[in-house]
Amino acid sequence: MTSSSHSPGAASRAPRNAREDADWQADLARCGGAAALRREQSLWALRVYRFGRRVDAMPEGGARRWSTRFYWLAFRAVETVTGISLPKECRIGPGLRIWHFGGVFVNPGTVIGANCTLRQGVTLGNRVEDGPCPVLEDGVELGAYAQVLGGVRLGAGCKVGAMSVVLRDVPAGATAVGNPARIVAREAAPPSGESAATAALTSSDLASPMTMEE
């Protein structure tokens, strides 16, 4: 993450409930407020994730043990219903937005900065068992079915196109597309054999390979 951002989930005092959880409130704000809970399945998964983080911050004792049991029941239920797996061990900054629920898997070792955007089918994980996981700085945007694997770092504000496979670092503000992903220089002339349309990739191209209604 950028030096100006705080560590995901960090706070001077651990929030005791959802109303005190600034990260959760930022998640809601990106979806239009609490009313979005009725229509945004991704918020169900995020709410359970934020709850799990609060549980881990509780002092040792019976309340934490019972809350941990409840968390795991809720985690498995929402993972099954929504197809979104956000284990409490990963670190996610405030304001995460997940468009179009389903098939989103985040390895527990992953770090996601503030105000990032994921879409359906995204995987953030390692390349080998117990290997390093991705770090996404603030404001990173991933297209549908993008795969980011291994100990790579995605710089602040970068974008990854739909169905891309990222195996190397992506600089801040850059756009990466393809399998394996390559950097697209939007200001420069398109490389030989690459169309101007590809070089001028916009955020709408990051969505679904079919249609997207955001």
The 10s digit of each residue's pLDDT in 152-182 is 999 999 999 999 999 999 999 999 999 999 9
Give the pair of three-digit tokens for residue 119: 């879409």
C-alpha 111/C-alpha 123 separation (Å) is 13
Distance CA 44, CA 81 (A): 10
Report in angstroms the alpha-carbon separations of 150 from 5, 38, 95, 134.
Answer: 23, 35, 24, 6
Q: Among 84-88, 101-105, 162-166, 176-180, where is mean pLDDT lowest? A: 101-105
Q: What is the mean pLDDT of residues 3-20?
A: 61
pTM here is 0.80
